[in-house]
Amino acid sequence: AALVGSGWDLGAYDQIVYLVDDAFGNRTPQGYTAGWAGGDIVWLRDIALERIGPLGHEIGHNLGLGHANLLGCTGPQPYDMSYSGCVPREYLDPFDAMGWSELRGQMSARNRELTGYSSAANLFEVVEDGVFWLPPIEIPFSGMQALKIRRAPGEWIYLEYRQPIGYDAISVPFIGGS
């Protein structure tokens, strides 16, 4: 109301990010500790800006994305095609801002496809055996950056090459660094 009263036309923006001072309390309007998104609005606590992923995570929700999960499997390998003994762990994909967003800034190839962030040239659907060269997904590129492989009807595996570049620089321990 204060913004509208000051002459701001909030309808002129696709996304509105409200930054809430930490003194406001430890939760956003919906009760979340770092942030919340809905429709075209994102609420973030000041402390969320100290980490690279929460803003991208919340805007990802506004673009229709769900959480990027980790599949936790037990039992002897190899696992069967139905993933018997495997349980999805919400939020725990460490390589996607829609997963463990505390330190992640990049979206996965799948989420880039879903949001329209990648062009059709960036994602190659594999239909036969071959050798493929993938540049790091963190670097803007006009050609192929990820592979999409059909595993079963309606099920895909996405392959991408990640390096500690840009937003992913903080992910070094997860991307082969020490």
Does residue 78 have a cis bond before it (omega within 30 degrees)? yes
Split at pLDDT 50, 70, 90, the class of 103 is: low
Q: Which of the two residues, 121 and 168, has the higher pLDDT score?
A: 121
CA 63 → CA 3, 20, 129, 169, distances in Å?
A: 24, 22, 34, 25
Report the C-alpha gap between 31 and 61 in whole angstroms.
16
- Asked whether residue 28 carries a pLDDT value surpassing 60, the answer given is no
* Least confident interval from 80-84, 87-91, 143-147: 80-84
Split at pLDDT 50, 70, 90, the class of 159 is: very high
Q: Which of the two residues, 170 and 10, has the higher pLDDT score?
A: 10
Split at pLDDT 50, 70, 90, the class of 177 is: very low
The count of other CB atoms within 10 Å of the CB of residue 62 is: 17
- Asked whether residue 31 carries a pLDDT value surpassing 60, the answer given is no
Residue pair 165/114 in contact by the 8 Å Cβ criterion: no
* pTM score: 0.72
Taking residues 137-165, report their average pLDDT: 90
* C-beta pairs of 64-71 under 8 Å, 24+ apart in sequence: 64/114, 64/115, 65/98, 65/107, 65/111, 65/114, 65/115, 66/98, 67/91, 67/93, 67/98, 67/99, 68/93, 68/95, 68/96, 68/97, 68/98, 68/99, 68/108, 68/111, 69/93, 69/99, 70/94, 70/99
- Asked whether residue 166 carries a pLDDT value surpassing 80, the answer given is no
* Percent of the chain at pLDDT exceeding 70: 78
